[in-house]
């Protein structure tokens, strides 16, 4: 017992001897006043924080110090006034922000016999707080901008199509949009693969997330991996010093469209398959797996199934992508869609340019009979160009590009008006075919093979239409 009492007494002695140092480490600055606000004691930090020597402060009251502008307001004055503990942020005459607390100490009659105040410099904290709030404002601004951009780039799409094929496609899309299954879109260039991918995204639960459209053929092969997967800082020369988030990571929470998927090199296909299966990816030069959650839509104008059979494309990846398979036929195989598309784009571009152009019956016939090898993209481009360039409000056949009015491309009644007789037309076509075959093969044997006729017939026809045939 006696031993313990000794330890306590020793400690109290030490405490008194080192009073200044101990309070010095507990706060940046501290001050003790009596119950009337006269300064009784200050620690060494006080001098640095307020720029006044301790001997000078000791004879003064906190009210005088406040009047001289060393601090404003005086926390001790506040604690004396409110008769309770007060905490506030104070600005010192040196421009620092300090968080200061003043606690009254009472005697037995609950009179305040002294007030102890202590503070911490929070200038740095306040600067960080300001930076954080600026950043928060900036993020909010970017989020609004991003939202607007997303709405613009992926706004409501008008899908025009009355053909049975398009109706079936639209019904399929409505059925699967929400299912989060991978989709493979197949079709020639310009048939609407990218457009339908956007429609699927808009109709899905991911509509408010990003829609990232990557054309795999447009990115150089040596950059494709780092563009798709991103890279860590310093992973290769020429790379951004901070590293870069990959496009697949950007699609997190939304939809990723990999257009021209057939162009992804085999080695990268393996990495892509792993990312799809495991829903995680590793950046180039990185080791940490990053979680990604996107709906994958792949598109191609190649016969991907054949590429998978011949080993040009990984079979396992093909099966993964091919959960829902949508084939969009070329426009020439759904001719019923041409007229509604012409009407739609005519109105669209008339509105865009403030014009009121219309098609003459003859021009309209050419448009509806043309084969549109570039599909809807070509149709939209032609309509825009002709509407802008043509002089009259009634667009005639003469305003159309040559490839559309070229008789060989067209079929239908307009041709009827132009031919002299059937035999004449057949002869013209025959001449054309023989000439083309002879130009290509340069021998009558070659022509015979190409046109599936006998060699003597080929010889006769070449002699008829082209002079001096080679055997």
- Please report, as ranges, the residues that interact with ligand ATP according to CB under 6 A: 158-161, 187, 189-195, 259, 301, 376-377, 380
Written as six digits, the tokens of 305 are 């199934």
The answer to whether the CB of 209 falls within 8 A of the CB of 254 is yes
In angstroms, what is the minimal distance from the CB of 187 to ligand ATP?
A: 6
In angstroms, what is the minimal distance from the CB of 458 to Mg ion?
A: 43
Question: Which of 64, 263 has the CB closer to ligand ATP?
Answer: 263
Binding range to Mg ion, per CB under 5 A, among 54-62, 255-263, 267-275, 396-404: 255-263
Q: Which partner, ligand ATP, Mg ion, none, binds residue 191 by CB below 5 to 8 Å per kind?
A: ligand ATP
Q: Is 401 exposed, middle or buried (0-12, 13-18, 19+ CB in 10 A)?
A: middle
Q: Which partner, Mg ion, ligand ATP, none, binds residue 363 by CB below 5 to 8 Å per kind?
A: none
Binding range to Mg ion, per CB under 5 A, among 188-196, 237-245, 310-318, 363-371: 188-196
In angstroms, what is the minimal distance from the CB of 331 to ligand ATP?
A: 9
Question: Which of 77, 383 has the CB closer to ligand ATP?
Answer: 383
In angstroms, what is the minimal distance from the CB of 198 to ligand ATP?
A: 8
The answer to whether the CB of 71 falls within 8 A of the CB of 89 is no
In angstroms, what is the minimal distance from the CB of 200 to ligand ATP?
A: 12
Question: Which of 115, 297 has the CB closer to Mg ion?
Answer: 297
> How many residues lie near Mg ion (CB under 5 A)?
3
Residue nearest to ligand ATP (CB): 192
Task: Confirm or reject binding of residue 300 to Mg ion (CB under 5 A).
Answer: no
Question: Which of 365, 384 has the CB closer to ligand ATP?
Answer: 384
For residue 301, give every residue at least 6 positions away whose Cβ sits within 8 Å of its Cβ, in sequence order, or none: 186, 187, 188, 189, 193, 260
The answer to whether the CB of 419 falls within 8 A of the CB of 425 is yes
For residue 241, give every residue at least 6 positions away whose Cβ sits within 8 Å of its Cβ, in sequence order, or none: 233, 234
In angstroms, what is the minimal distance from the CB of 372 to ligand ATP?
A: 11
Residue list 258-277, contact with Mg ion (CB under 5 A): 259
In angstroms, what is the minimal distance from the CB of 383 to ligand ATP?
A: 11
Overall residue count recorded for the chain in this entry: 471
Task: Confirm or reject binding of residue 194 to Mg ion (CB under 5 A).
Answer: yes
Binding range to Mg ion, per CB under 5 A, among 137-145, 166-174, 254-262, 351-359: 254-262
Question: Which of 187, 209 has the CB closer to Mg ion?
Answer: 187
Q: Which partner, ligand ATP, Mg ion, none, binds residue 37 by CB below 5 to 8 Å per kind?
A: none
Residue 208: other Cβ atoms inside 10 A? 11
Question: Which of 159, 453 has the CB closer to ligand ATP?
Answer: 159
Q: Which partner, ligand ATP, Mg ion, none, binds residue 189 by CB below 5 to 8 Å per kind?
A: ligand ATP
- Give me the DSSP letters along 299-331: EESS-HHHHHHTTSS-HHHHHHHTTEEEE---G
Q: Which partner, ligand ATP, Mg ion, none, binds residue 33 by CB below 5 to 8 Å per kind?
A: none
Q: What angle do CA 34, 39, 43 make, to 5 degrees?
A: 115
Residue 391: other Cβ atoms inside 10 A? 8
Question: Which of 256, 376 has the CB closer to ligand ATP?
Answer: 376
The answer to whether the CB of 317 falls within 8 A of the CB of 272 is yes
- How far, in Å, CA of 85 to CA of 66, rounded? 19
Q: Tell me the CA distances in angstroms from 465 to 69, 442, 451, one per residue in order.
A: 110, 14, 15
Binding range to Mg ion, per CB under 5 A, among 51-59, 185-193, 235-243, 442-450: 185-193
Question: Which of 80, 382 has the CB closer to ligand ATP?
Answer: 382
- Helix, strand, or coil (residue 256): strand
For residue 250, give every residue at least 6 positions away whose Cβ sits within 8 Å of its Cβ, in sequence order, or none: 210, 212
Question: Which of 187, 254 has the CB closer to ligand ATP?
Answer: 187
Q: Map 145-198 to HEC letters.
A: HHHHHHHHHCCCCCCCCCCHHHHHHHHHHHHHHHHCCCEEEECCCCCCHHHHHH
Q: Which residues bind Mg ion (CB under 5 A)?
A: 193-194, 259
């Amino acid at each position: 017992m006696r031993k313990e009492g000794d330890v306590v007494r020793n400690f109290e002695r030490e405490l008194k001897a080192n009073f200044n140092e101990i309070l010095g480490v507990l706060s940046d600055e501290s001050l003790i006043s009596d119950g009337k606000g006269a300064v009784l004691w200050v620690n060494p930090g006080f001098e640095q924080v307020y720029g006044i020597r301790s001997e000078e402060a000791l004879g003064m009251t906190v009210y005088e110090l406040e009047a001289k502008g060393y601090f404003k307001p005086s926390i001790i004055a506040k604690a004396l006034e409110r008769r309770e503990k007060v905490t506030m942020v104070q600005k010192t005459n040196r421009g620092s922000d300090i968080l200061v607390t003043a606690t009254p100490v009472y005697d037995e009659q609950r009179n305040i016999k002294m007030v102890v105040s202590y503070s911490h410099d929070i200038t740095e904290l306040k600067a960080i707080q300001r930076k954080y709030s600026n950043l928060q404002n900036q993020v909010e601004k970017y989020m609004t901008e991003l939202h607007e951009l997303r709405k613009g780039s992926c706004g409501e799409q008008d899908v025009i199509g009355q053909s049975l094929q398009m109706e079936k496609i639209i019904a399929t899309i409505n059925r699967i949009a929400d299912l989060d299954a991978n989709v493979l879109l197949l079709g020639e260039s310009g048939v609407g693969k990218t457009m339908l991918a956007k429609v699927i995204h808009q109709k899905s639960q991911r509509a408010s997330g990003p829609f990232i459209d990557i054309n795999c053929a447009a990115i150089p092969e040596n950059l494709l991996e780092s563009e798709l997967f991103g890279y860590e800082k310093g992973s290769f020369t020429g790379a951004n010093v901070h590293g870069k988030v990959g496009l697949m990571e950007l699609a997190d929470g939304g939809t990723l469209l990999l257009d021209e998927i057939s162009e992804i090199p085999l080695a990268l296909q393996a990495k892509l398959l792993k990312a799809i299966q495991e829903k995680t990816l590793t950046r180039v030069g990185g080791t940490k797996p990053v979680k990604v959650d996107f709906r994958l839509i792949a598109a191609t104008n190649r016969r991907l199934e054949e590429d998978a059979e011949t080993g040009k494309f990984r079979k396992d990846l093909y099966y993964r992508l091919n959960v829902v398979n949508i084939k969009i036929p070329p426009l020439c195989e759904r001719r019923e869609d041409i007229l509604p598309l012409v009407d739609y784009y005519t109105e669209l571009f008339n509105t865009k340019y403030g014009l009121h152009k219309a098609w003459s019956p003859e021009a309209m016939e050419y448009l509806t009979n043309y084969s549109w090898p570039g599909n809807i993209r070509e149709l939209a481009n032609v309509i825009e160009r002709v509407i802008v360039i043509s002089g009259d409000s009634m667009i005639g056949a003469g305003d159309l590009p040559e490839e559309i009015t070229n008789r060989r491309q067209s079929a239908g009644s307009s041709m009827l008006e132009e031919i002299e007789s059937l035999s004449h037309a057949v002869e013209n076509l025959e001449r054309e075919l023989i000439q083309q075959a002879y130009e290509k093969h340069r021998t009558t044997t070659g022509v015979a093979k190409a046109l599936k006729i006998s060699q003597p017939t080929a010889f006769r026809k070449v002699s008829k239409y082209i002079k001096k045939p080679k055997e």
